[in-house]
Structure 1
Amino acid sequence: MNRTENPLEEVVDENGRLSMRVLMTPDMVNFSGKVHGGVLLKYLDQVAYICGTRYAGTYVVTLSVDRVDFIAPIQVGELVTFQASVNYTGRTSLEVGIRVLSENLQEQSVRHTNSSYFTMVAIGDNNKPTPVPEFKPSDTIERRRFQEAHQRRNDRMRRARIRRDRRERNPLDLLPA
């Protein structure tokens, strides 16, 4: 397929990687003058959706956000790059890891500001979960990410079992596991 047939060809490559850039503007700040965390969360969810949908070839929804680490604040005027990759696939779900880099254009400096892991579920035409293509790690980094994602999945499943057991014992216990 040539570029004229698919202008979005480079958005997500065959290994499930995506890169998206957004300039941070004054309408994105919080009361301290830094980019609002909620703005970043919105972009993170959009990036996870794009990466997951392009990889799965079908609509995906956010099942969970394992963690979002806010490492450093982002300033207005910085160019933010969201680097996403599919790290793991289950039968109907996939994990998208996202690394956020912020570039100060005047100083020409780049720093890592955020990291996160989103679990997305593929949804078929019947609005039910549908299988996703198997992810096969092709290098050392992908294999490491795959193993780490598998461990996060096991941890999520363990926490879900604990919550379910708590609810069965005491339906009014709403505390997270």
Structure 2
Amino acid sequence: MADNVNSDVKGKTPSASQIEMTELVLPNDTNLLGNLLGGRLMHWMDIAGAMVATRHSNKTVATVALDSLDFRHPVRMGELVILKAKMTWAGKTSMEVAINVYAENMKTGNVILTNKAYLTFVALGTDCKPSVVPPLIPETDDEKKDYIEAEQRRNERLKKRAKE
């Protein structure tokens, strides 16, 4: 119904919906080696991404894809996990969010990039069907580059899906 009508939807910039989320790695979050469980990190990344997509669309969102999650460095018990999430692309009903994850050793102050991923969300209307989202208006050169690269990732996903 009205949820699926794109009548003069005002665009938003990536900075309007970006978030930073911080978690402390506790014993229950770790494996036998004292490193953060990959599944726990993925859970936090999904939450951070959903917050950004919800802020952008002002709607309930569902995760539909996760692209290229890289595990570059372990995060250890007692470290802070800092998740920085920002919109990179918006289509008619779907949105891509880039999430960079950093580990901070609070004793030394050292901060290191540990993970990066792109998550795609679809906005849902009150009828739980895909719903129109505001366009994304990239402002900086980096945001414009991110937008183009996000479209390329989307096209690759669609090609892959068509082959299945």
TM-score w.r.t. the length of structure 1 is 0.83
Post-superposition offset of 1:16: 2.5
Considering only CA atoms, is the larger Rg found in Structure 1 or Structure 2?
A: 1
Aligned residues of 1:78 and 1:105 also touching (Cα < 8 A): yes
**Letter in structure 1 aligned against 2:73:** A
* 2:134 match: secondary structure: coil
Structure 1 stretches of 4+ with a deviation exceeding 3 A read: none
Cα deviations by residue, 1:9-61 (Å, 9 ceiling, x for unpaired): xxxx7532111111111110012221110110110111111111111100000
Taking the aligned partners of 1:67 and 1:124, their CA distance within structure 2 comes to 28
Residue matched to 2:10: none
Q: Percent identity?
A: 34
Residue matched to 1:75: 76
* 2:46 match: secondary structure: helix
After TM superposition, list the pairs within 5 Å mapping 1:100-111 onto structure 2.
Answer: 100-111=101-112
* 1:105 match: secondary structure: coil
Aligned residues of 1:15 and 1:86 also touching (Cα < 8 A): no
Counting matched residue pairs gives 151
Across the aligned residues of Structure 1 and Structure 2, the Cα RMSD in angstroms comes to 1.0
1:161 aligns with 2:162: yes
Residue matched to 2:122: 121
Q: Which has the higher contact order (CA 8 A, sep 6+)?
A: 2
Give the unaligned 5+ runs of structure 2: 1-13
Residue matched to 1:170: none
TM-score w.r.t. the length of structure 2 is 0.90
Residue matched to 1:41: 42
